[in-house]
Structures are given as C-alpha cells and as structure tokens.
Chain A
Amino acid sequence: MPITLEKIPGQEERVILSMGPQHPSTHGVLRLVLELEGETVIRAIYDIGYLHTGFEKSFESKTYSQGITLTDRMDYLAPLSNNLGFCLAIEKLLDLEIPPRAQWIRVLLTELTRIQSHLVWLGSHAIDLGAMSVFLYCFREREEILHIFEAVSGQRMMTSYFRVGGLALEPPLGWLKLVERFLQKFPQRVDEYEALLTKNPIWRRRTQGIGYISAADAIAYGLSGPMLRGSGVDWDIRKKQPYSSYGKFDFKVATRSEGDVYARYLVRVEEMRQSLRIVQQALEGLPEGPVKADAPHIVMPDRESMKTSIEALIYHFKIVTEGFHPPLGEVYQAIESPRGELGFYMVSDGSPKPFRCHVRAPSFANLQALPKMIEGRLIADVVACIGTLDIILGEVDR
C-alpha cells in the first residue's frame, strides 16, 4: 500500500494529488502526495524508497575494498565524493597516513565533482523552471569534466578511483594538461550561465521569495550544504573540520542570508567558482611522491613488483582473497559533498568486512524540509522547491 493522505471531513472539495514517482521534475523517483485547494498546496508528504537497493546490508557482506564500488552508485552525480568519504572512514579506522600527492589529487577530483554535480543541478533546475538553453550549456561543460574522470579512472561516472590508502593508480601522463585546459575555459562559462539567469526577470520571479527556510529551521531540520548556507549559516565541513588537507587550500565559503531558492542558486554558482580556485591551487602545488600509503598489508602492490617480489605477491593474494583486518572500533567520518554533510558511520568487529556501515546521506536529510517549503504555496512552486533541494534519489533511498 503506498502512503497517502486522508481527506479531512468537511474539506471534501480538496484534491489529493499524487505527483511522481515518474514525474520528470522530481529528479528521479520521488513521489509526493499533495492536498490541494485550487492551486494552493495545503498539506504535503513525500514517499520514497522506489530506488531502495539495500546498500547498507550489502556492505556487510563485502570486504572494505569491495564496498568502494557500491558507494559510486549511491550519489551517482558525485561518485568521487562518496569514494572519498568511504575511504576516509576506513582510513580513520586503520589510522592510516595518506601521502600528500594522493590527498591533493583527491581534493582536485572531488572539487571537479562538485562543479560537475552543480552543473547538472543548474541545468535541470533551470529546465524545470522553463530556461531550456542553460541545460545545454551546462551539459557541454559537464561532458568535459566526465572526460577528465574517464582519462584518470577509465570510467565517466562510476569511477571507484579512490582506494583505501590512496588512489588506484598514478594519473596518466598528460592528464594534468586536460585539467589545465578546462580551468582556462571554465570561468567564462560560469559567467555565461550567470548572464542567462542571474538578472533574468523571469528567473527571479520564479525563485525569489520561494521556498523560504530560516537559519534556525535549517539547523533544526538537519539541512546541510548549500541548503544551509543559503539560509545564512556559515558552516562548511571543509573549513570547520578539514579532511584530506583542505586546511591548506585558500577558498571562501559562499553564504547568502535570504534563504530562498534564488539565494541557494547564488550559493551554488559561487561554490563553482570557489571550487575552481581550489582545483587551480591543487594543480599548482601538486606534490611529487607516491599515491599509495606505505602499508603493504592494506594497499595493493604494483603490478611490476608482484612479478619480482614474493612478498608483494603474498600480500596481493592476502588482500584479494581475504582483505585486511581493521581494529575493533567505530568511527564517523563526515565530508562536504556537493549536497551537504555526507557521513559514513563505520563499525569494525575486527573482521575483513564491516560490521555495519551506515551512510548519512545529505539528500535524505535535506528532503525533510520540502513539506515546510511548499505548504501554503502554489503548485508551480513545488517544482522550484524540489529543484533547489538538489536531491539524488539513489542516495535518498540507498
């Protein structure tokens, strides 16, 4: 039985409308049940789970390294952020030191991921509200970033490039040139999007004052990421609880105090520019050295050394057939994904498989603000509010 709203006695003329799960503006398979009076939404509840895949159960039957491939498929627009959070949690369990070069490349790639994710958001958000052309521009640039991912990992989306202890491989020769070329082009491109939208009167009328969330509500409802910063709360895990060397990069946290759809649009556009700065710095200051930690019982040995060294061969065999044994304990590692606080709660019982791995998905928490944003507003604004949440249903349902 799907969830539905009961009619209130005496209000029978109100319409109960089921929106989704196949509605194109719900960005996946979100279902909303709306009670309407005319065009005004009186009550709203959301119904999720259409994409529930049981990732958290699957983690328990896979070794730590095998779990990485699952994380890609949760937030499929930010696979590298998920890889990073998962790996950092395991590395915290193991108390493993990651070489600087690997950390820098991780930062570089997760910031490109942020730009890429925001581009998809901007394009689809704009198309939802009737601005068709922005979508085409955004996807043009996104394709270039996906090309960079493909060059480094062999995959456009399901990268699985970060591994426990560092990276899967040293990036190929000439790869940094690709990033550099993108960096030169992209700032003008952001200007182009802004030229299409920021001062556009139609865009402003559709977004300003819509979907208001106050700062206190944003905290109480557990919102994070641009949803929180659009309400004027200066909170970014990259700044406040730096991980993976973020403390060494110079960037600004974008905040706006208006708390509406327009403010969150401005925050995300500014975040793209700031991410670009971080990528620039990562590129310029990229240290030399290994990309894997010095921990032979955890990190896979190089192909070459396996052919000449018996120890490397034994370690390879052990890691592949059995995995590694983190100590007893549990950690919670949060990172700032494009959507907000992405947390991995990892519990180890000393075996090579996690006892429990729970994902605190930012979209899942952010979705809770939706009824608050749309109740009492017009049904046309519902689309703007879903868009501004930037939810990924793969991550909501897990």
Chain B
Amino acid sequence: MAADLENHLALKKLWAFDPEALENSQVFRGEVTLYIRPSHLIRVCEFLRDEPGLKFSFLADVTALDLHPQEPRFEVVYHLLSMETAERLCLKVRVSGETPRVHSLVPVWPSANAFEREVFDLFGIEFEGHPFLRRLLLPEDWDGYPLRKDYPTEGYR
C-alpha cells in the first residue's frame, strides 16, 4: 500500500502524462483518491488501464456520493484494481447538481455497464455514450432517485 502521495506511482505517472487532468488528490488509511477533471476522464482511464507498470485493468466498482446541498453536488466514484501490482486506486469526478452528466466508461471497461446503470437509476446521473441507459433496479416509471440525500428514507408519501 502506498501511504504517502509524493511517491505514489500512479499519481506520478499521471502527472507526467497530463497535469491538467488532476484536480486534487488525497490519501486516507493508505487509500489514494484522485480527483479527475470530467473532460479528461476517458483519456485518464485509458492511460491508467494500458500504462505498463500500472495496468489498472479491472474496474471493481462505480458508485456516487450526493453532497447535497453543496455544489458541485455529486461525486462519481470509480474503484480500480491492478492485478499486476495488487494496487487499488480510487478516482473521483465532480458533477454538478443541475445537469448531472459524465462520460460513460463502457468503452474503456465493459464492466462499467451495469454499475453506471445502477448509479443512473439511484442517483439520476446521466452517462453520456452509455449503450443502454435504462433503470436497472427500480421500475421504469419510478419517481425520483432514492439514494439522493433529499429523498426521504420512507419514500415520498
């Protein structure tokens, strides 16, 4: 586990690849999180997937956070895994609450398909370029996005 950010390999390589792509980075309990600029997301992910020495070939998870009432309201969270180095990396993209929209990662990792549909279903974040962006867990005619913080736990009455 890479504990300090300065010597973190993925961060260094990404910095050399495209310093513009990085917004911020943080480390907590040895887990590194990189904030990526939304416009650079696909480029960065392809780089992280293919770069020798990194090879984050496995997208473990996609989810989101609702920071309501902050703005930008949402953070889309990607958990990557490199089977070569046994390292994990967390990427985050900030998304505004008015037009929650971010590029789909299905072209980079096919596994993003169902994960992104789930986020769309429960948070209402749209993924541009997703091949089949339909509700997944809830019925098609469901009203609202349950995992948003302004959605009551008991549902609308």
Interface membership of chain B positions 15-37, coded 1 if the CB is closer than 8 angstroms to chain A and 0 otherwise? 00000000000001101010000
The answer on a CB contact under 8 Å between A356 and B65 is yes
Question: Which A residues touch B113, using CB under 8 A?
Answer: 368
The answer on a CB contact under 8 Å between A360 and B79 is yes
A-B contact count, CB below 8 Å?
98
Which of B2-10, B96-104, B139-147 faces chain A? B139-147
Question: Which B residues touch A219, using CB under 8 A?
Answer: 57-58, 83
* Interface flag for A251 (CB, 8 Å): no
Question: Which A residues touch B14, using CB under 8 A?
Answer: none
Question: Which A residues touch B61, using CB under 8 A?
Answer: 332, 343, 345, 358, 360
* Interface flag for A367 (CB, 8 Å): yes
The answer on a CB contact under 8 Å between A331 and B28 is yes
Consensus secondary structure, chain A interface: mixed
* Whole-angstrom distance between the Cβ of A202 and the nearest chain B Cβ: 34
Interface membership of chain A positions 347-362, coded 1 if the CB is closer than 8 angstroms to chain B and 0 otherwise? 1000000011010100
- Given A233-B83, A235-B83, A1:B60 Cβ within 8 A: no
* Whole-angstrom distance between the Cβ of B155 and the nearest chain A Cβ: 9
Contact of A222 among B31, B60, B153 (CB under 8 A): B60
Q: Which of B63, B83, B146 has the most CB of A within 10 A?
A: B63
* Interface flag for A377 (CB, 8 Å): no
The answer on a CB contact under 8 Å between B111 and A334 is no
* Whole-angstrom distance between the Cβ of B5 and the nearest chain A Cβ: 15
The answer on a CB contact under 8 Å between B77 and A222 is no
The docked-state distance in angstroms from the alpha carbon of A345 to that of B153 is: 20
Who on chain B is nearest to A50 by CB? B137
* Whole-angstrom distance between the Cβ of A270 and the nearest chain B Cβ: 20
Q: With contacts A52-B137, A54-B146, A360-B60 known, what are 20 further pairs, Cβ within 8 A? A: A48-B136, A49-B136, A56-B147, A61-B153, A92-B29, A221-B111, A222-B58, A222-B60, A222-B115, A233-B83, A235-B83, A332-B31, A332-B60, A334-B60, A334-B88, A343-B60, A356-B63, A356-B65, A365-B114, A398-B137
Could you tell me which B residues sit within 8 Å of A by CB distance? 28-29, 31, 33, 57-61, 63, 65-66, 77, 79, 83, 86, 88, 90, 109-111, 113-115, 118, 122, 134-141, 146-147, 151, 153
Could you tell me which A residues sit within 8 Å of B by CB distance? 1-3, 48-49, 52, 54, 56-58, 60-61, 92-93, 95, 219-222, 233, 235, 240-241, 329-332, 334, 341, 343, 345, 347, 355-356, 358, 360, 364-365, 367-368, 397-398
Q: Which 5 A-B pairs have the closest CB atoms?
A: A222-B111, A49-B137, A360-B61, A329-B28, A358-B63
